[in-house]
C-alpha cells in the first residue's frame, strides 16, 4: 500500500510541477514551490516506510523548515527586491502594529 | 515561568528527535536549549503572545473541532475541483475578530486560512480580510460561528490569566 | 485487532492519496492564483493529515509516530503563515483576483456584547 501512496504523491507532484512551469505569475510559481515542499515531506515519509527506513522523516522535517524559509525569502525578494528589507523603515508601515 | 516552560518543551523536543541518549548528545542538547532560551529571552518574545502556555489544556478540544471543520470544507472544495463545470464564485469579504488578545486573533486568522476554501489575506487591527472560493463560505464566516468558537477557546485563557493576576 | 488497524491505515492512506491528487488537479484547473491557493490547502491539510494518520497507525507507538506528529505540527503551524504571506504578497503586487462578488467595502458589525465592558474596564489592548 505504500506503493499506492508513493505513486499518488508522484502523480500530484507532476501536476504541481506543470503548474510551476506554466506560471503565469511568480506567485503561482511560489505557491507551486510551497506545495512541492509539502509533497516532498510526504514523499520522504512514505518512501521511508516503503524501504523500511523511517529515518527519512528527519530529513523531511528539516526540508519542511527550509521550505518555509525559502518561500518567505522568495516572496520578500519579489516584493522588495531585497532580502534584508526592514518593514519598520517604511514611512506608512502597511499592516504594521 | 514561561521561560522554564519553553526550556522544558525544547528539551522534550530534543529527546524525541534524537532517540540516542549518549552523554555527548545530551550535553550538546543542553547547550542548544540554553542558547535558544537566552536568545528568545533577549528578543523579548517570551510573553503571552510568544509562549501561550495557558492554551495547552484547551488546545486538544479546539484542534479536534477545527479538524472536523477542515474535513468538511476540504470535502466541499474537492467536490468543486472535481466538478466539470467548476462552479466557483470567488468572494472577498471583511469580518471582525472578536478575540481580545493578539494570540487569539492569530489563532482565528490561521484557523480561517487552514480551512480549505477560505484564506485570510490581511489583518488590520481586529478586521480580517478574507478570500473565499464560494460566496457561501464568506456567508458562513460573516455569521461568526468560528469566531465564537475561537473566542470561547481564548476565553479559557483569559480567565486563567485573571486568576493568576 | 491487528487486521482492523491494518485495514484502517490502508483506508486512511488511500483517502489521503486521493485528496493529494485532487488538490494537485485543482491547482491545474483553477483560474487564478487566489483560487489555486484553496486547492493547495486541500493538499496541505486533509491530504497530508490522512496520509500521515495512516502512516502513524503503521508505525505504532514509537518515536517514528512522534516524528510524524511533528511533521503534522509543522504543516499546521507554518502552512497558514506561508499561505497568508503569499496572498498578501500577491495583493501587494496588484494581481487582481477574479471575483464573483466583492464585499470588502461592507460595514463590519460591531463586536457583540463584549465591547462596552472592555471600554469601561480599561483593560490593556495588546494590539495597540
pLDDT band at B163 (very low <50, low <70, confident <90, very high): very low
User: Is the model more confident about B87 or about C109?
Assistant: B87
Region C109-122: mean pLDDT is 42
Start-to-end C-alpha separation, chain A? 50
Q: Is residue C110 part of a domain?
A: no
Per-residue model confidence (pLDDT) at position A90: 54
DSSP tally for chain B: helices H, then strands E: 6, 3
Given a contact cutoff of 8 angstroms between Cβ atoms, the answer to whether C100 and C80 are in contact is no
Chain A residues in contact with B122 (beta carbon < 8 A): 95
Given a contact cutoff of 8 angstroms between Cβ atoms, the answer to whether C84 and C35 are in contact is no
Whole-number Å distance between alpha carbons of B1 and B70: 34
Per-residue model confidence (pLDDT) at position B74: 87
Nearest to C10 among A1, A9, A49 (CB): A1
Residue in the structure block whose three cell numbers are 460561528? B145
| Residue A41 zone, left/alpha/beta (φ > 0; ψ -120 to 50; rest) | alpha
Nearest to C108 among B96, B101, B115 (CB): B96
B119/C34 Cβ within 8 A: yes
C33 pLDDT more than 80: yes
Whole-number Å distance between alpha carbons of B14 and B91: 44
User: Is the model more confident about A7 or about B59?
Assistant: A7
Nearest to C59 among A16, A54, A95 (CB): A54
Per-residue model confidence (pLDDT) at position B85: 79
CB atoms < 10 A from the CB of B8, how many?
11
Going by C-alpha positions, the residue among A71, A9, A10, A42 that lies closest to residue C48 is A42
Whole-number Å distance between alpha carbons of C47 and C52: 9
C114 pLDDT more than 50: no
Nearest-CA distance C116 → chain A (Å): 23
Q: Is residue C94 part of a domain?
A: yes
Nearest-CA distance B124 → chain A (Å): 6
Q: Which are the contacts of B42, defined by CB distance < 8 A and separation ≥ 6?
A: none
User: Is the model more confident about A62 or about A2?
Assistant: A62
| Domain range summary for chain A, segments of one domain joined by + | 2-89
| Domain range summary for chain B, segments of one domain joined by + | 2-42, 55-164
CA distance to A77, B20, B37, B51, per residue, from B4 (Å): 37, 24, 9, 11
Q: Could you read off the pLDDT of B76-128 as tens digits, one per residue?
A: 888 888 888 777 788 888 887 777 777 778 888 888 888 888 888 888 777 78
pLDDT cut 70: percent of chain B above it: 92
Domain count, chain C: 1
Tell me the residue range of the domain where C35 lies.
Answer: 2-100
Region C76-94: mean pLDDT is 83
- Chain A interface with B: residues with Cβ < 8 Å: 58, 61, 95
Q: Judging by beta carbons within 10 Å of its beta carbon (0-12, 13-18, 19+), is residue B84 exposed, middle or buried?
A: exposed
Amino acid at each position: 500500500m505504500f506503493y499506492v501512496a508513493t505513486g499518488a504523491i508522484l502523480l500530484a507532484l507532476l501536476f504541481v510541477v506543470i503548474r510551476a512551469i506554466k506560471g503565469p505569475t511568480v506567485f503561482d510559481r511560489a505557491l507551486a514551490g510551497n506545495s512541492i515542499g509539502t509533497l516532498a515531506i510526504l514523499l520522504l515519509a512514505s518512501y521511508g516506510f516503503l524501504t523500511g527506513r523511517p529515518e527519512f522523516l528527519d530529513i523531511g522535517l528539516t526540508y519542511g523548515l527550509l521550505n518555509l524559509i525559502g518561500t518567505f525569502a522568495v516572496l520578500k525578494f519579489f516584493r522588495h527586491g531585497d532580502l534584508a528589507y526592514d518593514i519598520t523603515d517604511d514611512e506608512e508601515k502597511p499592516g504594521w502594529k | 515561568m514561561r521561560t522554564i516552560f519553553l526550556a522544558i518543551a525544547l528539551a522534550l523536543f530534543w529527546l524525541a528527535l534524537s532517540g540516542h541518549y549518549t552523554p555527548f548528545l545530551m550535553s550538546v542538547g543542553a547547550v542548544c536549549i540554553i542558547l535558544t532560551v537566552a536568545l528568545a529571552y533577549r528578543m523579548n518574545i517570551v510573553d503571552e503572545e510568544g509562549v501561550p502556555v495557558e492554551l495547552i489544556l484547551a488546545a486538544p478540544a479546539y484542534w479536534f473541532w477545527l479538524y472536523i471543520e477542515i474535513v468538511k470544507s476540504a470535502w466541499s472544495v474537492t467536490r468543486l475541483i472535481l466538478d466539470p463545470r467548476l462552479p466557483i464564485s470567488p468572494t472577498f469579504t471583511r469580518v471582525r475578530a472578536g478575540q481580545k488578545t493578539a494570540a487569539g486573533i492569530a489563532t482565528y486568522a490561521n484557523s480561517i486560512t487552514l480551512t480549505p476554501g477560505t484564506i485570510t489575506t490581511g489583518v488590520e487591527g481586529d478586521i480580517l480580510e478574507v478570500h473565499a472560493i464560494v460566496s457561501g463560505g464568506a456567508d458562513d464566516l460573516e455569521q461568526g460561528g468560528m469566531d465564537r468558537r475561537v473566542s470561547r477557546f481564548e476565553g479559557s485563557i483569559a480567565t486563567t490569566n485573571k486568576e493568576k493576576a | 485487532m491487528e487486521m482492523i488497524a491494518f485495514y484502517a491505515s490502508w483506508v486512511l492512506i488511500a483517502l489521503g492519496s486521493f485528496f493529494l491528487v485532487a488538490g494537485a488537479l485543482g491547482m491545474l484547473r483553477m483560474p487564478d492564483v487566489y483560487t489555486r491557493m484553496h486547492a493547495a490547502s486541500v493538499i496541505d491539510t486533509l491530504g497530508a493529515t490522512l496520509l500521515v494518520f495512516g502512516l502513524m497507525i503503521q508505525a505504532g507507538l514509537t518515536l517514528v509516530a512522534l516524528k510524524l506528529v511533528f511533521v503534522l505540527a509543522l504543516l499546521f503551524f507554518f502552512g497558514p503563515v506561508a499561505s497568508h504571506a503569499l496572498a498578501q504578497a500577491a495583493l501587494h503586487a496588484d494581481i487582481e483576483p477574479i471575483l464573483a462578488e466583492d464585499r470588502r467595502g461592507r460595514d463590519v458589525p460591531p463586536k457583540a456584547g463584549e465591547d462596552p465592558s472592555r471600554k469601561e474596564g480599561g483593560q490593556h489592548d495588546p494590539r495597540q
